[in-house]
């Protein structure tokens, strides 16, 4: 494990220890996919509590982790309480319950839409980072028509509302969304096709219309994740509702198996996030 990874592993273990001994919920910053993989890979004897991941919406890539003491585990209901069992797909109201005071979602709106630039994810992130914020304090940034939604550490929401007034040549305002009313459903493109098996490389080939051999190289390069976990085997078998991310290419969800053809090929349905 490299030095930065070792430091993160120690930090995660320490947050779990604090949660256990002090009986409080402790939180990480927003973790990218590689950092989430380090969390998932921690030996069970290095964690003192269970944890839950949440990024503001069901398919969020950057997510905070909350380490939960026993009394919080009982509130979670379905949570098993086994250290390392994040049950990250649960999300939704459970995530909001534990993160509503730790995470905020802000809407960035151009003051004069008619004269605004066509802003990209890079533009929004660059403008926010130029204010001196650390990347770990910022979650996903979603383009929502002419607006953008930004998930951020709640301690910084007032700062961003006051200081972010311009992106490129566009004057903007920043307002806070109400968690109780907030909903975000990501746009998807549905694809149906056949694969020889439910192996990771076969579904990648279908989703991105490329050869399986290409994805073998991407998997070996550490660019493919399933439910936030780094995958090192192209033969990993995908399960229904799994979310597969490929750095630099996008992500999709394997929804379900539809049928099997006479030639024993599997008809599947996937949703590619757009």
| Highest mean predicted confidence (pLDDT) among 2-6, 73-77, 177-181, 262-266 | 262-266
Give the residues across from 110 on adjacent strands. Answer: 172
> Cα dihedral angle (67, 72, 73, 76), rounded to 10 degrees?
-110
- Name the CATH code of domain 103-176 (choices 3.40.190.10, 3.30.420.40, 3.30.70.330, 3.40.50.20): 3.30.70.330
| Residue 193 near residue 269 (C-beta atoms within 8 A) | no
Tokens standing for residue 12? 């995660």
Q: How confident is the model at residue 92 (pLDDT cuts 50, 70, 90)?
A: low
What is the Cβ-side half-sphere exposure of residue 9, based on CA atoms within 13 angstroms?
15
Percent of the chain at pLDDT above 90?
Answer: 73
| Residue 61 near residue 50 (C-beta atoms within 8 A) | no
Give residue 76's pLDDT: 54
Give residue 96's pLDDT: 81
Is the pLDDT at 18 greater than 60? The verdict is: yes
| Distances in whole angstroms, Cα of residue 74 to Cα of each of 77, 87, 137, 196 | 6, 15, 28, 43
Q: What is the 3-state secondary structure (H, E, C) of the chain?
A: CCHHHHHHHHHHHHHHHHHHHHCCCEECCCECHHHHHHHHHCCHHHCCCEEEEECCCCCCCCEEEEEECHHHHHHHCCCCCCCCCCCCCCCHHHHHHHHCCCEEEEEEEECCHHHCCCCCHHHHHHHHHCCCCCHHHEEEEEEECCEEEEEEEHHHHHHHHHHCCEECCEEEEEEECCCCCCCCCCCEEEEEEEECCCEHHHHHHHHHCCCHHHHHHHHHCCCEEECCEECCCCCCECCCCCEEEECCCEEEEEEEEEEECCCCCEEEEEEEEC
- Among 80, 100, 82, which residue's Cα sits nearest to residue 90? 80
- Lowest mean pLDDT, pick from 92-106, 111-125, 222-236: 92-106
Is the pLDDT at 88 greater than 60? The verdict is: no
- Mean predicted confidence (pLDDT) in 86-96: 53
Q: Where are the domains of the chain?
A: 3-99, 103-176, 188-273
Tokens standing for residue 96? 């909001």
Is the pLDDT at 164 greater than 50? The verdict is: yes
CA distance 198 to 196: 7
CATH code at 188-273: 3.10.290.10
């Amino acid at each position: 494990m490299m030095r930065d990874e070792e430091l993160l592993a120690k930090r995660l273990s320490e947050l779990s220890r604090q949660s256990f001994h002090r009986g409080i919920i402790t939180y990480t910053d927003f973790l990218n996919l590689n950092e989430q993989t380090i969390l998932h890979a921690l030996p069970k004897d290095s964690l003192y509590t269970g944890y839950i991941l949440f990024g503001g919406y069901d398919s969020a890539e950057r997510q905070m982790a909350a380490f939960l003491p026993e009394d919080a585990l009982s509130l979670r209901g379905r949570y098993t309480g086994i250290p390392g069992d994040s049950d990250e797909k649960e999300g939704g109201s459970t995530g909001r319950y534990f993160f509503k005071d730790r995470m905020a979602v802000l809407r960035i709106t151009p003051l004069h839409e008619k004269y605004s630039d066509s802003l990209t994810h890079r533009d929004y992130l660059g403008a926010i980072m130029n204010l001196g914020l650390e990347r770990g304090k910022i979650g996903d940034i979603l383009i929502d028509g002419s607006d953008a939604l930004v998930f951020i550490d709640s301690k910084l929401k007032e700062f961003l509302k006051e200081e972010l007034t311009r992106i490129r040549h566009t004057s903007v305002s920043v307002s806070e969304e109400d968690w109780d009313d907030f909903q975000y459903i990501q746009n998807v493109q549905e694809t149906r096709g056949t694969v020889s098996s439910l192996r990771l490389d076969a579904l990648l080939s279908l989703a991105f219309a490329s050869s399986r051999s290409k994805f073998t190289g991407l998997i070996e390069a550490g660019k493919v994740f399933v439910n936030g976990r780094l995958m090192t085997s192209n033969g990993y078998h995908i399960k229904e509702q799994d979310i597969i991310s490929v750095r630099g290419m996008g992500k999709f969800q394997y929804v379900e198996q539809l049928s099997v053809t006479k030639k024993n090929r599997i008809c599947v349905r996937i949703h590619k996030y757009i």
